[in-house]
Chain A
Amino acid sequence: MYESKRLGYLFVLPFILGILAFNLFPFAASFALSFTDYPLIGAPTYIGLENYEKMVFDDDLFWKSLTVTVSFAVIVVPARLAVALFIAQVLNFKLRGINFFRAAYYLPTILGGSIAISVLWKFLFQQKGLVNIILDTVGIDPIPWLASERYAVWTIVALNTWQFGAAMVIFLAALQGVPKSLYEAAEIDGASFWQQFRNVTLPLITPVIFFNMVMQIVNCFQEFNAPYMITEGGPLYSTYFMAIYIYDEAFKYFNMGYASALSWVLFFLIVSIAGVLFWSSKYWVFYSGEKERAR
């Protein structure tokens, strides 16, 4: 039955229709707009490659925000994945009260970008905030987190790591798919917890690790809320992420054309990273449901 092309097309049809109906025009339009000067009010004027030229040769802020974004992703993607996978593993017990702990660990993620978080986070990281008080008790001098070009980004990293819940839930769901009999077999062989994790769990959840990796990269490159709420891109642009730059250009300074150009550059950057990931997945992602690779 899975050889039936007709059925395959039938099931994918909604997506094809959806792309044609809802995505084709906006994508094409924003691509076209990237070659124009479009102040939102009034019509766009075609200016050729000017936006892209400006970006590359005459816009320090573009390079600055690109650097900020990339280095952020380099830190946060592995941090979040590791924390989420570790916690998911820990929370995968049948332990009394485990429901409570799972909810507790997910709660920060539900809070998302609410204003309460911005009040709170500033409170934790301000000069006389909780973090510095704790550091003081262990003998470390207070750090001006929010006013330091070097440390400000860490407040965002902290928030992002704190909100690891989405990746954790996906890992939890994946761990449910690992057949118990395999662990039992491993136990009989005398495999340690770590060995079980490495040799049984890890290979079987590689499709989901891969998924989370792709998604975390996408999220990091489009990170907006946290720096917008907490540091407002500062100080001295040290947390001025690409997404904020794009938003500012589009809706604060009414340069929709330039914002579109920035977005498409970011798009091609993420596409190339995703491309490398997908290519590499052939070597490390194991699909038990795939015909050619099934055991």
Chain B
Amino acid sequence: MFKRKTLAALTFTALVSLTSVALAEDATIRFAWWGNEARAANTLKVIKLFEEKNPGIKVKAEYSGYDGYQTRLSTQFAGGTEPDIMQILLAWLPMFSKNGDGFSDINQFSSLIKLDEFPKSTLDQVTVNGKLQGVPIGSTGFLFLYNKEPWQKAGIPYPKTWDELFEAAKLMQEKLGDEYYPLDPTTQGSFLISLSWAMQKYNVNFIDANEPKVAMSEEQVADWLRFFKKLENDHALVSIKARTAMGGASKPTSQMPDWVEGKWGGVYSQDSTLTSRADTLTGGLNQLEVGPYIMLPDAKTAGTMSRTGFIYSISKHSEAPEAAAKFVNFLATDPEAARIIGTSRAIPASKTQWDVLTKEQLIPKIQEIGTGQIMELDEKGLVPRFSLYFEHPLIYKLLFNTFEELSFDKTTPEEAAPKLIKEANRILSRL
């Protein structure tokens, strides 16, 4: 009986979709995203505006918290029932769309989506096998974000070079105490900040940006790991071990009591999340400042990882892909949409939207400075390309384990380097 019902339903939907293709108007599209309530509230307003402007198209919002979002989405994928439009983390791309056939190719909709709004380098990051997997929402890069308080108390300027960072670490510890550190690396920061140095020194990335294999030599990797140990040992970074003891290696900086109490001078943070660091600070955003990007003299690259944080992808099974494309275009490029959303959906990648937000001062000053710094580095050609696989969860797991073992003195840089390369190559060869 159920079979017959589904069959009837199938024929019905088939008929409906036939007519909808014919009319290209009446359609309901499902849009799934994760995020907090502010994001949901603003997005719902944009949806309403879009529906007013496009009678016939209904957008059904399927929003939820981040926790579990990916589990639900992968289950839906297995059943072929994923929403028409979905917010996807760039790091998931190799899994959801291994060969570029997991999502609709956005290039198909180039008449509906203004792709020239986005920098070509950003679109390249989202392209798999020549197929554009989604529309990027804002680049986000790592930078040095500081809490003024301890620096002023100790009378130290923000470091511009790595030597100055070590100097600052020493001074801060001497003047203020053992619990004071210039920088909290956060979880991924612990390997990214040292990688940044290694890339400045050798101008080569860990994983080749063009093909899935490790590009660094064993000696270079060992040097990277040694530098990380030096950062921890010289009190320049809150160590992974110390962080773990304070509530878990991946506990957000803003929840760390020592951060709240102003004992940590800064955090190696993505520009897209910098405002949330002020959540628990008494002075709020006023207490934060973006420092110069720490560089080696004569470096050819800054080594900061900057890429689009997440993308809007369109389902291959969508019955109304044109309507979906229209909506994505509105959400990601329209100036009015930008005014409503502000920065609650990250910093927009679209030029029009970014201009609206900055000109009309719809984003916090510090956000503009932070994002501006990454853009400037990019214009100078100092932002390196990263392989799409660098953020693959298996690679991240491997990197995190290696650095955790280093921090806990379970291994040495010399011992870990060949192992890291071998394991990474093994994982990459399977992808």
Find out whether the CB atom of B95 lies under 8 angstroms from the CB atom of A254: yes
Q: Can you name the residue of chain B whose Cβ is closest to the Cβ of A247?
A: B71
Judged by a CB distance under 8 angstroms, whether A234 is at the interface is yes
Rounded to whole angstroms, the CA-CA distance of A144 and B97 in the bound complex is 42
List the A side residues contacting B247 at CB < 8 Å: 122-123, 126, 146
Judged by a CB distance under 8 angstroms, whether A127 is at the interface is yes
Rounded to whole angstroms, the CA-CA distance of A40 and B73 in the bound complex is 11
List the A side residues contacting B96 at CB < 8 Å: 41
Q: How far is the CB of A278 from chain B (nearest CB, A)?
A: 34
Task: Please choose the segment from B223-231, B249-257, B266-274, B359-367 that sits at the chain A interface, where 4 or more of its residues have CB less than 8 A away.
Answer: B249-257
Judged by a CB distance under 8 angstroms, whether A128 is at the interface is yes
Find out whether the CB atom of A146 lies under 8 angstroms from the CB atom of B244: yes
Q: Can you name the residue of chain B whose Cβ is closest to the Cβ of A148?
A: B245
Find out whether the CB atom of B248 lies under 8 angstroms from the CB atom of A40: no
In the complex, how many residues of chain B place their beta carbon closer than 8 angstroms to a beta carbon of chain A? Answer: 29
List the B side residues contacting A234 at CB < 8 Å: 244, 248-249, 404
Find out whether the CB atom of B404 lies under 8 angstroms from the CB atom of A254: no
Rounded to whole angstroms, the CA-CA distance of A42 and B78 in the bound complex is 8
Rounded to whole angstroms, the CA-CA distance of A231 and B244 in the bound complex is 9
Q: How far is the CB of A9 from chain B (nearest CB, A)?
A: 25
Find out whether the CB atom of B405 lies under 8 angstroms from the CB atom of A236: yes
Of residues 40 through 85 on chain B, the ones whose CB sits less than 8 Å from some CB of chain A are 70-71, 74, 77-78
Rounded to whole angstroms, the CA-CA distance of A236 and B78 in the bound complex is 32
List the B side residues contacting A237 at CB < 8 Å: 401
Rounded to whole angstroms, the CA-CA distance of A251 and B97 in the bound complex is 15
Q: How far is the CB of A244 from chain B (nearest CB, A)?
A: 12
Which of these, B74, B102, B257, B410, contacts A128 with CB under 8 Å? B257
Find out whether the CB atom of B404 lies under 8 angstroms from the CB atom of A252: no
Find out whether the CB atom of B70 lies under 8 angstroms from the CB atom of A251: yes
Which of these, B77, B249, B408, B410, contacts A40 with CB under 8 Å? B77
Judged by a CB distance under 8 angstroms, whether B292 is at the interface is no
Rounded to whole angstroms, the CA-CA distance of A185 and B96 in the bound complex is 69
Judged by a CB distance under 8 angstroms, whether B148 is at the interface is no
Judged by a CB distance under 8 angstroms, whether A253 is at the interface is yes
Given A147-B244, A234-B244, A253-B394; A41-B404 close (CB under 8 Å): no
Q: How far is the CB of B238 from chain A (nearest CB, A)?
A: 12
Q: Can you name the residue of chain B whose Cβ is closest to the Cβ of A38?
A: B78
Given A146-B244, A254-B95; A235-B74 close (CB under 8 Å): no
Rounded to whole angstroms, the CA-CA distance of A237 and B249 in the bound complex is 12
Which of these, A41, A119, A230, A235, contacts B77 with CB under 8 Å? A41
Judged by a CB distance under 8 angstroms, whether B393 is at the interface is yes
Rounded to whole angstroms, the CA-CA distance of A126 and B243 in the bound complex is 9
Find out whether the CB atom of B74 lies under 8 angstroms from the CB atom of A40: yes
Judged by a CB distance under 8 angstroms, whether B419 is at the interface is no
Find out whether the CB atom of A235 lies under 8 angstroms from the CB atom of B250: no
Find out whether the CB atom of B248 lies under 8 angstroms from the CB atom of A127: no
Q: Mark A25-63, 1 if CB is under 8 A from B, else 0.
A: 000000000000001111000000000000000000000
List the B side residues contacting A127 at CB < 8 Å: 242, 245-246
Q: Can you name the residue of chain B whose Cβ is closest to the Cβ of A149?
A: B408
Judged by a CB distance under 8 angstroms, whether B339 is at the interface is no
Which of these, A42, A122, A128, A254, contacts B248 with CB under 8 Å? A122
Q: How far is the CB of B306 from chain A (nearest CB, A)?
A: 24
Q: Can you name the residue of chain B whose Cβ is closest to the Cβ of A152?
A: B244
Judged by a CB distance under 8 angstroms, whether B170 is at the interface is no
List the B side residues contacting A144 at CB < 8 Å: 241, 244-245
Q: Mark A141-162, 1 if CB is under 8 A from B, else 0.
A: 0001111100000000000000
Which of these, A41, A128, A146, contacts B95 with CB under 8 Å? A41
List the A side residues contacting B250 at CB < 8 Å: 232
Q: Can you name the residue of chain B whose Cβ is closest to the Cβ of A256?
A: B78
Rounded to whole angstroms, the CA-CA distance of A122 and B410 in the bound complex is 24
List the A side residues contacting B102 at CB < 8 Å: 41
Judged by a CB distance under 8 angstroms, whether B422 is at the interface is no
List the A side residues contacting B74 at CB < 8 Å: 40-41, 251, 254
Rounded to whole angstroms, the CA-CA distance of A147 and B394 in the bound complex is 23
Of residues 290 through 342 on chain B, the ones whose CB sits less than 8 Å from some CB of chain A are none
Judged by a CB distance under 8 angstroms, whether B98 is at the interface is yes
Among B248, B249, B255, find the residue whose CB has the most chain A CB atoms closer than 10 A.
Answer: B248
Find out whether the CB atom of B70 lies under 8 angstroms from the CB atom of A230: no
Rounded to whole angstroms, the CA-CA distance of A144 and B245 in the bound complex is 5
List the A side residues contacting B78 at CB < 8 Å: 40-41
Find out whether the CB atom of B245 lies under 8 angstroms from the CB atom of A146: yes
Q: Can you name the residue of chain B whose Cβ is closest to the Cβ of A251?
A: B71
Rounded to whole angstroms, the CA-CA distance of A182 and B393 in the bound complex is 62
Q: Can you name the residue of chain A whose Cβ is closest to the Cβ of B249?
A: A234
Rounded to whole angstroms, the CA-CA distance of A249 and B296 in the bound complex is 40
List the B side residues contacting A128 at CB < 8 Å: 246, 257
List the A side residues contacting B71 at CB < 8 Å: 251
Rounded to whole angstroms, the CA-CA distance of A123 and B244 in the bound complex is 12
Q: How far is the CB of B318 from chain A (nearest CB, A)?
A: 16
Q: CB within 8 Å of A: which residues of B? A: 70-71, 74, 77-78, 95-98, 102, 241-242, 244-251, 255, 257, 393-394, 401, 404-405, 408, 410
Query: What would 13 A/B residue contacts be, using CB atoms closer than 8 Å?
Result: A40-B78, A41-B95, A41-B96, A41-B98, A122-B247, A126-B245, A127-B242, A127-B246, A146-B247, A146-B248, A147-B242, A232-B250, A236-B404
Kindly list 13 other residue pairs between chains A and B, CB separation below 8 angstroms, not including A122-B251, A144-B241, A235-B249: A41-B74, A41-B77, A41-B96, A42-B98, A119-B255, A122-B248, A126-B245, A126-B257, A230-B248, A235-B244, A236-B401, A236-B410, A251-B74
Q: CB within 8 Å of B: which residues of A? A: 39-42, 119, 122-123, 126-128, 144-148, 230-232, 234-237, 251-254
> What are the 9 A-B residue pairs with the smallest beta carbon separation, nearest first?
A147-B245, A147-B244, A122-B247, A144-B245, A127-B245, A126-B247, A254-B95, A251-B71, A235-B244
